[in-house]
Structure 1
Amino acid sequence: MRRRDFLVTIGAVTASPLAVRAQQKARLPIVGFMGAATPAAWTPWTAAFAQRMEELGWTNGKTIKIEYRWAEGSEERYRQIGEEFVRLGANVLVAVGGDAARKATSKIPIVVALMSDPVGTGLVSSLARPGGNLTGMSIQSTDLAGKRIELLKEVIPTLKRFAVLAYVDYAGTLRDVEAIQTISKRIGVEAATLPIHRGSDIEPAFATLDLQTQAMYVPPNILVNTNRVFINQLAQQRRLPTLHGFREYVDSGGLMSYGPNTTNLFRRAAEYVDKILRGARPGELPVEQPIEFDLVVNLKVAKTIGFEFTSSFLARADEVIE
């Protein structure tokens, strides 16, 4: 072998490990997306998140790697997903609720698209300065719970008793129930709590309803989100009006909802991820609160269960599904 060819060969061999290390160092940032339900149920939200990331310059597979995992309504699986992303070395986690992600890591930045009561549940120190590794969007669930019950009383002026389908293993729902009991006593109605721990508890909970129950409020959380179609089917069979926190539940057969626009919250979550990937500290990014709330009613469901809205109430609705 000529000396020149020998030196070229040696150069290529010695350069190879350097090239490999350079490729390793150039690993794409990983965003661990913790889906609480199923891909189909979350399609509008994942699409909104991915689109906003693209608009901000993050193309999945080219400048970033978004890894999706799905808990399918299992709280245990949701915790495992957080732990899995920690082992994977994710740069940012995107979650809902926040508790499972926080238990998985105190170091990796966490953006929570939906937090029911971040200060009250201890997820953040304050809305203005969250501290720690977690930030995102508060849905003001505790405050909104009272407003929703007032709306329920408005559409059912004779309301005396309603049920609350409560996933009691979730701290956010427990705080919702406290707020609901307070406002119910003030307006003179009885709120009967139906505790559930898992999906298999839902149908037996409905079986305990008495004839005096005039409506049902379903606080939003990981378990009822996954089972929202089934819940609404059971309610329709009993001709029971249902009130929800998000329009997605109304799309799935609920009667009415009042709450923030979920799709917009996931777009905002993408903006938080963008800031963190560019160097911002999550503990210094204020928790955002929604400023717009949508009242959505489903007239198809109303017809099915024999319920009538007043024309003045329908005129106030932001969206009427016919």
Structure 2
Amino acid sequence: MLPFDNADDPQVRQLWPAFKQRLRELGWVEGRNIQFDVHFTTQDIDRIRVSAAELVASAPELLVVWSNPGLAALKLATPTIPIVFALVGDPVGTGLVTNLARPGGNITGFQNFEPAMGGKWLEILKEIAPGLRRVGVVYNQNIAANVDLLRNVEAASALTGMTVTATELHNASDIERTLTEFAQVPSSGLIVMPNPLNTRYNEVIVGLAARLHLPAIYPFQLDSEKGGLVSYGFDTIEQQRGAATYVSRILKGEKAGDLPVQAPTKYQLVINLKAAKALGLDVSPQLQQRADEVIE
């Protein structure tokens, strides 16, 4: 169950093939010994609940889900069918599992950003654009992990001397209005939180941030590759490969509740020097040396 419109979404095009490729490496070949029934739910809560009920009613051997709301819906829908999640934030704090080391029950998987990442994004943004005095955060208040990340941004703001203004994006029409309002205040920057809407419209956000001269930090490498100034986040491909490995182990007889929930182990800092130049920013050699990738 994937929180996007369809298979053409850039995130789906990047991650779904990586997931299936790892399964093929482990001997699971679509059409031969494994079948996929993919439901695209967007962020609509009603649609998520309907899809969860439909998937459980079809009695699959295993369920895979990529979002907090989707995982919450599946947890309510079945206490028995194994569930493997990815791209889920703070599963213990949100009550989706009780323990990371041994989650028990029928759920396990791979969490994404820990709350402390919010402070790290602010720190990196301030380092790449030292003149910033204010940062706008675009987030989804219905995603508990986004709220926790925002709290950490706000806590870190006192150390950087920056003020924080948070705004929720509900749909594509909110993007231009919100970013334009942020840009009207001098010395402003932007933190883009990881959620399905921000990911779906990442090209729109990246383009507007550039046009409005808003230095921005993004959660995924793909964002910087599409022209975003800087991104810092976990290796999403590696996480999908890990989720596929868990699927294989469960299909071969292991219990989901015995497999530990895993946090990201590899993070990537990507800097787009072309975007920096367009913003009039001089990225220090020290920061460039720390980056995992520098796009020129």
TM-score relative to the length of structure 2: 0.91
Structure 2 residues not aligned, in runs of 5+: none
* Offset from partner CA, 1:191-236 (integer Å, 9 cap, x none): 1111222333222222322323521000101111111111111111
* Offset from partner CA, 1:20-73 (integer Å, 9 cap, x none): xxxxxxxxxxxxx53535423121211110010011111111001022232345
Q: Does the 8 Å contact 1:102/1:134 carry over to 2?
A: no
Partner of 1:106: 78
Partner of 1:24: none
Partner of 1:252: 226
Q: Which moved more, 1:170-179 or 1:105-114?
A: 105-114
Partner of 1:269: 243
From the superposition, tell whether residues 79 and 205 of structure 1 become closer, same or farther in structure 2 (CA, over 3 Å). farther
Aligned length: 290
Partner of 1:138: 111
From the superposition, tell whether residues 252 and 75 of structure 1 become closer, same or farther in structure 2 (CA, over 3 Å). farther
From the superposition, tell whether residues 213 and 73 of structure 1 become closer, same or farther in structure 2 (CA, over 3 Å). farther
Partner of 1:226: 200
Partner of 1:14: none
- Structure (1 or 2) with the larger CA radius of gyration: 1
Question: 1:316: how far off?
Answer: 1.3
Q: What is the aligned counterpart of 1:178 among 151, 156, 169?
A: 151
Partner of 1:27: none
Structure 1 residues not aligned, in runs of 5+: 1-32
Amino acid at match of 1:173: N
Question: 1:75: how far off?
Answer: 4.8
Question: 1:301: how far off?
Answer: 2.1
Distance 1:81 1:252 in 2: 31
Q: Which moved more, 1:270-279 or 1:69-78?
A: 69-78
Q: Does the 8 Å contact 1:165/1:196 carry over to 2?
A: yes
Q: Does 1:95 align with 2:69?
A: no
Q: Does the 8 Å contact 1:74/1:223 carry over to 2?
A: no
Q: Report the secondary structure of 2:210's partner residue.
A: helix
RMSD between superposed Cα atoms in Å: 1.8
* Offset from partner CA, 1:249-275 (integer Å, 9 cap, x none): 222331111111101100000011111
Q: Does the 8 Å contact 2:64/2:84 carry over to 1?
A: yes
Q: Report the secondary structure of 1:254's partner residue.
A: coil
TM-score relative to the length of structure 1: 0.84
Over 6 Å off, 4+ runs? none
Q: Report the secondary structure of 2:93's partner residue.
A: coil
Amino acid at match of 1:106: T
